[in-house]
Structure 1
């Protein structure tokens, strides 16, 4: 599981989309990072709560060497090295947090186009599905990330994914099994979409914007 179809070590980005310090979202991201390590998969974990990424504006396009570009470049470089992304979105009043929407304004085709993404909703109770729906609708138009059909919703998150080993709590046992299945799918999509990226058929100079 740790290598792609070309025999190279796979690398997956984990985006923790909460703007709260020491959040349950960050906890889930850390556990997923541990699980990827057991598979021999490298990871890049980005906690948006600790990242001072300014609000996006059009100076990002108008000033190629401006402050926004300079702050984004190291993040973009890391994303460019990844074959897939995992995006974890807490449920804030039925919405994805603004820090996560801001992150996707920065993402472009050079970082994430034709790479598979796994969406994970997080809720301390029984919610979590609405941010997943929102991100499927609104986050991929111009950057062309490919959300895979499967997604995860971690309900009762305080009792779940506290470590790489499942507890006896039935929800934790279930979500650990679903995580394994979703990571299996994500890595296979990563292998398959590598062929699409290598084909050169995507012409984003002519068609930079989705319809």
Structure 2
């Protein structure tokens, strides 16, 4: 199985990337393939309508290799910091690029990070506004990693009880994501979704 891990921070060497690398390492240890996209290292140009009007333009050119990786993925993990209670603009921009070919009927796990005690508002924002046209299926589980600077700093749970708990909770949520990927593969393989007739969500 292949899982795409998307790091939605614009800061290089961020806590988001740290957690993303942990996810990649964990998935690799379980024998799964991964695709790791750190939007701070590989930023996408702000989306505009030239994406459709210029098939060989800059936007399409930079998006195509990412699109190919997402098309071959079975599930996504999307990691976002909490910036003033919001998802960073680079991650919102990423979802403007995504279409049904990349993410439709694929399960997604949201992981939100906070340096203090926040993190819930980005989860709500992604659930409300990121899936309308690309049809990603956010699973009911999500993770909020509070005081993230003290967590996921070692491959194994530290002696800190909060870090131990959240790493175990991560493993639980990941197991659910992988099972959703198995279940939703049947939806993708069927002919039930007619996105030519109904390309946009309601």
| C-alpha distance in structure 1 between counterparts of 2:6 and 2:51, whole Å | 21
C-alpha deviation, 1:62, in angstroms: 1.4
Q: 1:163 aligns with which of 154, 159, 165?
A: 154
Q: 1:130 aligns with which of 100, 121, 124?
A: 121
| C-alpha distance in structure 2 between counterparts of 1:69 and 1:140, whole Å | 20
| C-alpha distance in structure 1 between counterparts of 2:181 and 2:136, whole Å | 12
In structure 2, the residue matched to 1:194 is 185
In structure 1, the residue matched to 2:33 is 42
Q: 1:91 aligns with which of 79, 82, 105?
A: 82
Aligned ranges for residues 116-155 of structure 1 at < 5 Å? 116-155=107-146
| C-alpha distance in structure 2 between counterparts of 1:163 and 1:199, whole Å | 42
| C-alpha distance in structure 1 between counterparts of 2:43 and 2:157, whole Å | 33
Name the SS of the counterpart of 1:120 in structure 2.
Answer: strand
Q: Residue 114 of structure 1 contacts residue 144 of structure 1 at CA under 8 Å; is this kept in 2?
A: yes
Gaps of 5+ in 1: 1-9
Is 1:17 aligned to residue 8 of structure 2?
yes
Aligned ranges for residues 76-115 of structure 1 at < 5 Å? 76-115=67-106
C-alpha deviation, 1:89, in angstroms: 0.5
Q: Residue 43 of structure 2 contacts residue 90 of structure 2 at CA under 8 Å; is this kept in 1?
A: no
| C-alpha distance in structure 2 between counterparts of 1:200 and 1:164, whole Å | 42
| C-alpha distance in structure 2 between counterparts of 1:129 and 1:171, whole Å | 17
Kindly provide the CA deviation profile for residues 16-75 of structure 1, in whole angstroms up to 9, marking residues without a partner as x. 000001000000000111111111111101000011310000110112222111110000
TM-score normalised by length of structure 1:
0.94
Name the SS of the counterpart of 1:15 in structure 2.
Answer: strand
Gaps of 5+ in 2: none
Is 1:57 aligned to residue 48 of structure 2?
yes
| C-alpha distance in structure 1 between counterparts of 2:154 and 2:68, whole Å | 29
| C-alpha distance in structure 1 between counterparts of 2:85 and 2:27, whole Å | 29
C-alpha deviation, 1:128, in angstroms: 0.7
Q: 1:172 aligns with which of 163, 167, 171?
A: 163
C-alpha deviation, 1:119, in angstroms: 0.2
Runs of 4+ aligned residues of structure 1 deviating over 3 Å after TM superposition are none
